[in-house]
Amino acid sequence: MKVVALAGGVGGAKLADGLAQILAPGDLTVVVNTGDDFEHLGLHISPDLDTVCYTLAGLSNDATGWGREGETWRFLDTLRGLGGPTWFRLGDRDLALHHERTRRLAAGERLSAITRDLAQRMGAEATVLPMTDDRVRTIVLTGEGELAFQQYFVERRCEPVVRGFRFDGVEGSRPADGVLEALAAAEAVVLCPSNPWVSLDPILAVPGLRPALTGKIVVGVSPIIGGRALKGPAAKMAGELGIQPSARAVAEHFERLLIGFVVDHQDAEQTPAIEAMGARVLSTHTIMRSPGDRLRLARETLEFAEGLRR
Amino acid sequence: MKVVALAGGVGGAKLADGLAQILAPGDLTVVVNTGDDFEHLGLHISPDLDTVCYTLAGLSNDATGWGREGETWRFLDTLRGLGGPTWFRLGDRDLALHHERTRRLAAGERLSAITRDLAQRMGAEATVLPMTDDRVRTIVLTGEGELAFQQYFVERRCEPVVRGFRFDGVEGSRPADGVLEALAAAEAVVLCPSNPWVSLDPILAVPGLRPALTGKIVVGVSPIIGGRALKGPAAKMAGELGIQPSARAVAEHFERLLIGFVVDHQDAEQTPAIEAMGARVLSTHTIMRSPGDRLRLARETLEFAEGLRR
């Protein structure tokens, strides 16, 4: 089965990794949020692309949920001594990826071409693509005014109260090279367990992307389990947006898209409410602690999607 | 005694370090060649400034003659794996200095202000200044056409035959903030044992700098010993320029400036010819292998200059 997975960072990357272990390399395309991208020290940094590439290549640091395993910090330690900005943690190896991406962008290559190539060089087998080759920036509307995403997320540690989001530049953006082709060929589209508001919404806001899901078996996996997000600010955001954080709320958010929705077994009692919206529900263990968890959830999700095709 | 030292990379940095161990911090200003500066991976790299700062701060790698002691190479190794350019060796710690300099330049600060501050943060006590805050680039005229200095020096390993040099942008440049003030206050000016053509000439070509040496006790130290350069391409360059490489040839090159000239004892027989040009000569051990050598040569050079004042 040809599959496109839409993903943000950690949770999305883990399920994408599970899918990559089951599907043939040519059958999986992971389309990744780039609304979190930003410029820092003159470098183009793509946190979600990096997390997905590192995870698919088996290089990710699973303890921290970001960056590379076995990373060293000579650069950052020295920068600190020189009085430079160290709020964004750049490891010595990680820095090479940012530099190489930035160098190739400056030379005129597209982010999608660069990402395909670098992912492969790192050892990822599935195709990894940014949602767009154009500049889109997630802006967090907070009680303190507008904040660039990384400012909100890293510098302010998600403390400011969220009132909404906008994706600067998205109206004029186009899906990256290869994204619409992958969607056209896909039988199933998996909305990975990523933050609905700041990971998946930016992807779905790229003009032409949402219509390309029409007629596909779209299956979402809830990033909210027992009313909480395993990682990241999704539940806090929901509360601040006046939404009771739940699997059901996520299903509601994507209501028009979903053919199927995967919830954790502890949220099984929300099944009737979600099915009433028109999506079929699979309830299972969705917490991915081990590589085996990723594989099992990916397999169940694919079998669920397969069943929905009939 | 207030002293200004003009210096390029390794040899110049060593003598500057000797001077710094004798003179009070406020009495020594090292004015450094920036004709070797270049842009690489979006970074502003100043090889001679770096060598001088690392050396004065006790951080230099004396085995290689460039870069930092105890350097690590995670960044470069990773960049190689990603297919990036690795011809210029950037260590993990060294990279932080380039990044911080570049960041502050982009923020609108002058190279001189940044250098003063970063040198201090690294632990250098003397004042270190670039020759200019303006963009000057040494171009090597070779049998194969014009080459940017680092292309000639690092990428081509000084192989192309040299026909001459030009210092792109020097005509419109001005001495960096603080350089003319330091020269006005100086009693002695030391031309460190650096390459005459590509380290000291660019400094002296900055408009206003050479006239500021008028009336000063200008003492040069020969970088050529026994017809050879201890480090770098000075002797090879001399030959290709049709000059017999010798201490005397260096003295001739700076003839109008020199009040005194220090040669190695093995070149003592050139003393009469050099004194015939009007400069007094001190012949001594000028090879600086140990920290003690630096200190001794600096002390002898200062005493020699002191004697020339009477």
Domain annotation covers residue B59:
no
* A288: its two tokens: 């991915």
pLDDT of residue A229: 87
Q: Any CB–CB contact under 8 A between A93 and chain B?
A: yes
pLDDT digits (tens, 9 = 90+) for B268-297: 999 999 999 999 999 999 999 999 999 999
Q: Any CB–CB contact under 8 A between B85 and chain A?
A: yes
Q: Which residues of A154-165 are buried (b: 16+ CB within 10 A; e: fewer)?
A: beeebebebeeb
- Report the gap between the CA of A87 and the closest CA in chain B (Å): 14
Closest residue on chain A to B43 (Cα)? A42
Q: Any CB–CB contact under 8 A between B76 and chain A?
A: yes
pLDDT of residue A145: 95
Task: Give the closest residue to B216 by CA, choosing from B257, B261, B275.
Answer: B257
Cβ contacts of B100 on chain A, cutoff 8 Å: 79, 82-84
Q: Any CB–CB contact under 8 A between A205 and chain B?
A: no
Cβ–Cβ below 8 Å for B99 and A118: no
- Report the gap between the CA of B100 and the closest CA in chain A (Å): 6
* Average pLDDT of the residues of chain A: 95
Confidence of residue B230 (pLDDT cuts 50, 70, 90): confident
* B168: its two tokens: 């792109």
| Bridge partners for A188 per DSSP | A3, A217
CA distance B150 to B139: 9
pLDDT digits (tens, 9 = 90+) for B119-163: 999 999 999 999 999 999 999 999 999 999 999 998 899 999 999
pLDDT of residue B24: 96
pTM for this one? 0.91
Give the CATH number, domain containing residue A296: 3.40.50.10680
Whether pLDDT at B65 is above 80: no
Give A134: exposed, middle or buried? Use CB within 10 Å, 0-12, 13-18, 19+.
Answer: middle
Confidence of residue B2 (pLDDT cuts 50, 70, 90): very high
Cβ–Cβ below 8 Å for B41 and A81: no
- CB atoms < 10 A from the CB of A139, how many? 18
Which of B99, B102, B103, B105 has the highest number of chain A CBs within 10 A, making it the mutation to test binding with A? B99
Q: Which residue has the higher pLDDT, B232 or B55?
A: B55
- CB atoms < 10 A from the CB of B64, how many? 12
% of chain A exceeding 70 in pLDDT:
100
Which of A44, A72, A89, A93 has the highest number of chain B CBs within 10 A, making it the mutation to test binding with B? A93
Domain annotation covers residue B153:
no
Q: Any CB–CB contact under 8 A between B70 and chain A?
A: no
Cβ–Cβ below 8 Å for A85 and B96: no
Confidence of residue B310 (pLDDT cuts 50, 70, 90): low
Q: Any CB–CB contact under 8 A between A85 and chain B?
A: yes
Domain annotation covers residue A147:
no
Cβ contacts of A86 on chain B, cutoff 8 Å: none
Instruction: Please list the pLDDT of chain A residue by residue as tens digits (310 residues).
Output: 999 999 998 899 999 999 999 999 999 999 999 999 999 999 999 999 999 999 999 999 988 878 899 999 999 999 999 999 998 899 999 999 999 999 999 999 999 999 999 999 999 999 999 999 999 999 999 999 999 999 999 889 999 999 999 999 999 999 999 999 999 999 999 999 999 999 999 999 999 999 999 999 999 999 999 998 888 889 999 999 999 999 999 999 999 999 999 999 999 999 999 999 999 999 999 999 999 999 999 999 999 999 998 6
pLDDT of residue B198: 96
Cβ contacts of B81 on chain A, cutoff 8 Å: 96, 121-122
- Report the gap between the CA of B231 and the closest CA in chain A (Å): 28
- Report the gap between the CA of B175 and the closest CA in chain A (Å): 25
Cβ contacts of B93 on chain A, cutoff 8 Å: 74-75, 77-78
Closest residue on chain A to B85 (Cα)? A100
> How many residue pairs bridge chain A and chain B with CB atoms within 8 Å of each other?
98
Q: What is the DSSP letter of B30?
A: E
Tokens 């059958």 belong to A27
Which of B39, B40, B78 has the highest number of chain A CBs within 10 A, making it the mutation to test binding with A? B78
Closest residue on chain A to B79 (Cα)? A96
pLDDT of residue A10: 86
pLDDT of residue A99: 97
Mean pLDDT of B108-127: 97
> What is the 3-state secondary structure of chain A?
CCEEEEECCHHHHHHHHHHHHHCCHHHEEEEECCCCCEEECCEEECHHHHHHHHHHCCCECCCCCCCECCCCCHHHHHHHHCCCCCCCCCCHHHHHHHHHHHHHHHCCCCHHHHHHHHHHHHCCCCEEEECECCCCEEEEEECCEEEEHHHHHHHCCCCCCEEEEEEECCCCCCECCCHHHHHHHCCEEEECCCCHHHHHHHHHHCCCCCHHHCCCEEEEECCEECCEECCCCHHHHHHHCCCCCCHHHHHHHCCCCCCEEEEEHHHHHHHHHHHHCCCEEEEECCCCCCHHHHHHHHHHHHHHHHHHHC
Domain residues for the domain of B174 are: 3-35+125-135+170-309
Whether pLDDT at B232 is above 90: no
Domain annotation covers residue A268:
yes
pLDDT digits (tens, 9 = 90+) for A68-89: 999 999 999 999 999 999 988 9
Pairing of strands B3-7, A3-7: unpaired
Cβ–Cβ below 8 Å for B97 and A82: yes
Confidence of residue B10 (pLDDT cuts 50, 70, 90): confident
Domain annotation covers residue A264:
yes
Which of B76, B86, B89, B100 has the highest number of chain A CBs within 10 A, making it the mutation to test binding with A? B100
Cβ contacts of A77 on chain B, cutoff 8 Å: 93
Q: Any CB–CB contact under 8 A between B63 and chain A?
A: no
Q: Any CB–CB contact under 8 A between B106 and chain A?
A: yes
Domain annotation covers residue B142:
no
Cβ contacts of A40 on chain B, cutoff 8 Å: none
Cβ contacts of B74 on chain A, cutoff 8 Å: 72, 74, 91-93, 96
Question: Which residues, numbered 4 to 43 in chain B, qualify as contacts with chain A under a Cβ-Cβ cut-off of 8 Å?
Answer: 41-43
pLDDT of residue A62: 81
Domain annotation covers residue B184:
yes
Question: Is the predicted ipTM greater than 0.95, yes or no?
Answer: no
Number of domains in chain A: 1
Which of A39, A73, A76, A82 has the highest number of chain B CBs within 10 A, making it the mutation to test binding with B? A82
Cβ–Cβ below 8 Å for B100 and A82: yes
Domain annotation covers residue A163:
no
Sequence-distant (6+) residues with CB within 8 A of A99 are A43, B41, B42, B75, B79, B84
